[in-house]
Amino acid sequence: MVENLKLIEVCLGSARVGRLALSPDRRCLFEYDAGWISTGFSLSPFYLPLKSGLFTARAEPFGGLFGVFDDSLPDGWGKLLIDRWLISKGIKPITLSVLDRLSLVGSGGMGALTYLPAQNDLSSEAIHPISFYADEVQKILNDDYTGSLEELVNKAGSSGGARPKVMVSINGQEWLIKFRASSDPVNVGLIEYEYSLLAKKCGIEMAETHLFEDKYFGVRRFDREEGKRIHMHSAAGLLYASHRLPSMDYTDLLKATLILTRDINEAEKIFRLMIFNVLIGNKDDHAKNFSFIYRNRHWQVSPAYDLLPSEGFNGNHTTTVNGSGKPLLSDCMEVAKAVAFPLKTADRVIREVKEALPKS
């Protein structure tokens, strides 16, 4: 069922973008298709510029895979589901290469990229209430047998992040619904929903959010728009920054945003998000919790996500602020100075976020 592939094609919509292969030392090789070079755009401007020739991926931090394609792979919950499904089919997950993993994603991944040949023969048109998926998730977490493993893989096998989730269509709109993990408070869905509203009040751009059945947090997918797939790229993949360990500073993130978007207004979105994260204590601000989308032939900061108080890495912000894991607002101003972000704008953003937050 799952072959050990030597070559896969990368597509975006009906267009072939390029080809991926494995070198003898298990690092990926990529080459853009000539047609894509003529009409397309760079999938990852810092490491895969739009030009002919063969690109070789770094060995780390993505196991020999390019960052932009690593963004297509599930981790956390999605990888758990895929691996359990493989084991149920008599396949040892450790035997799969990154190309095999991408072929399992096929056309089911986040963002716009798809991979051929697709080696995922799962399909499900079943429609269930959200509580059904919540019950099935709990069975997985409890190591109980579930007859719905394949359906969960179909609904969440390409998802990232540690929290259990499914991706479903509701009234013709694509939603991502999150469920409680074992270590989460009982009302984590309500908490995340309330902080999503607070973030919007603080001027942070977010996709539409909703509290389903009064307890399950849901967010409209921003990588889907009127039936079209939107190319997205995490800061982790863009900068080759591991999301598992502290590997990035907000200074790096702001510099990258300015270079990529060439728009001070996009940089302001990141600066505002930094202030919000510092003030609410969202320390799980790792490199995959920031993304960019390519729309109308321009890069821009994606709507924000995963915004709620959290412990982070040993009680420190995973993305440091001016080198500090326990930053003060003065550190945020030092970040602004380091990237030549207008200090008057920085002062205004800090004031706006502080005024919108509840007084403690």
3-class secondary structure, 117: coil
Report how far residue 57's alpha carbon sits from residue 97's, in angstroms, rounded to the nearest whole number.
14
Give the pLDDT score at 3: 64
Domain end point (choices 116, 142, 157): 116
Closest C-alpha to 246, from 324, 319, 148, 180: 319
Give the pLDDT score at 323: 96
Closest C-alpha to 354, from 243, 246, 280: 280
Query: Is there a single domain that holds both residue 299 and residue 241?
Result: yes
CATH number of the domain bearing residue 138: 3.30.200
Dihedral sign, Cα of residue 173, residue 129, residue 140, residue 306: positive
Give the pLDDT score at 45: 97
Instruction: Quote the number of domains for the chain.
Output: 3
| Residue showing tokens 């780390």 | 60
Q: Is residue 84 within 8 Å of 149, Cβ to Cβ?
A: yes
- Is the residue at 225 inside a domain? no
Give the pLDDT score at 157: 63
Query: Is there a single domain that holds both residue 253 and residue 150?
Result: no
Q: Is residue 349 within 8 Å of 254, Cβ to Cβ?
A: no
Find the helix or strand (DSSP H, E) in which 299 lies: strand 298-301
Give the pLDDT score at 313: 81
Give the pLDDT score at 247: 87
Query: Is there a single domain that holds both residue 110 and residue 166?
Result: no
Query: Is there a single domain that holds both residue 296 and residue 252?
Result: yes
Query: Is there a single domain that holds both residue 238 and residue 337?
Result: yes
Residue 311 domain boundaries: 230-353
Give the pLDDT score at 162: 75
Report how far residue 213's alpha carbon sits from residue 193's, in angstroms, rounded to the nearest whole number.
12
Query: Is there a single domain that holds both residue 182 and residue 202?
Result: yes
Domain end point (choices 56, 81, 116): 116
DSSP string, 188-237: HHHHHHHHHHHHHHTT--B--EEEETTTEEEEE-TTEETTEE-EEEEHHH
Q: Which residues pair with 29 in a beta bridge?
A: 21, 56
- Is the residue at 324 inside a domain? yes
Find the helix or strand (DSSP H, E) in which 88 lies: helix 77-88
Query: Is there a single domain that holds both residue 93 and residue 180?
Result: no
Reading the chain (360 residues) residue by residue, the pLDDT tens digits are 566 788 999 999 889 999 999 999 889 999 999 999 999 999 999 999 999 999 999 999 999 999 999 999 998 888 888 998 899 888 999 999 999 999 999 998 899 999 999 887 655 566 788 988 888 888 888 876 666 777 788 887 667 677 899 999 898 899 999 999 888 899 999 999 999 999 999 999 999 999 999 999 999 999 998 889 999 999 999 999 988 888 899 999 999 999 999 999 999 999 999 999 999 999 999 999 999 999 999 999 999 999 999 988 889 999 999 999 999 999 999 999 999 999 999 999 999 999 999 986
Domain end point (choices 81, 116, 151): 116
Query: Is there a single domain that holds both residue 107 and residue 137?
Result: no
